[in-house]
């Protein structure tokens, strides 16, 4: 059985639990902010503050996910 690239893409982007449009927008905004910031050099203090801010955002999503099982937000860790 051959699976087309389109089918593979759909399978990799579909989640067993749908992600709300609001969560998608929030994730995109955070990603955009992170990408813009990563293009300039940060001091260690600024980097630590930024990591803490993103951890707080992640914790907020995790706590929302624990109380509302209808939405799922996945996070990946990137090695820098």
Checking if the pLDDT of 30 tops 80, the result is yes
41 vs 1, higher pLDDT: 41
Look at 10 and 61; give whichever has higher pLDDT. Answer: 61
Backbone torsions φ then ψ of 76, nearest 5 degrees:
-120, 150
Q: Are 55 and 77 in contact (CB under 8 A)?
A: no
What is the maximum span of the chain, computed from C-alpha positions, in angstroms?
53
pLDDT class of 10 with cuts at 50, 70, 90: low
Domain positions in the chain? 42-68
**38-77 pLDDT per residue, tens:** 666 768 888 889 889 988 888 887 777 666 555 455 555 6
Query: Which pLDDT score, from 0 to 100, does residue 1 have?
Result: 45
């Amino acid at each position: 059985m051959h699976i087309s690239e389109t089918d593979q893409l759909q399978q990799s982007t579909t989640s067993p639990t749908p992600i709300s449009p609001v969560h998608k927008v929030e994730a995109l905004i955070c990603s955009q902010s992170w990408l813009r910031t990563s293009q300039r050099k940060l001091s260690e203090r600024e980097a630590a503050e930024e990591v803490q801010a993103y951890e707080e955002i992640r914790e907020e999503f995790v706590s929302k996910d624990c109380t509302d099982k209808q939405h799922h937000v996945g996070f990946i860790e990137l090695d820098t």
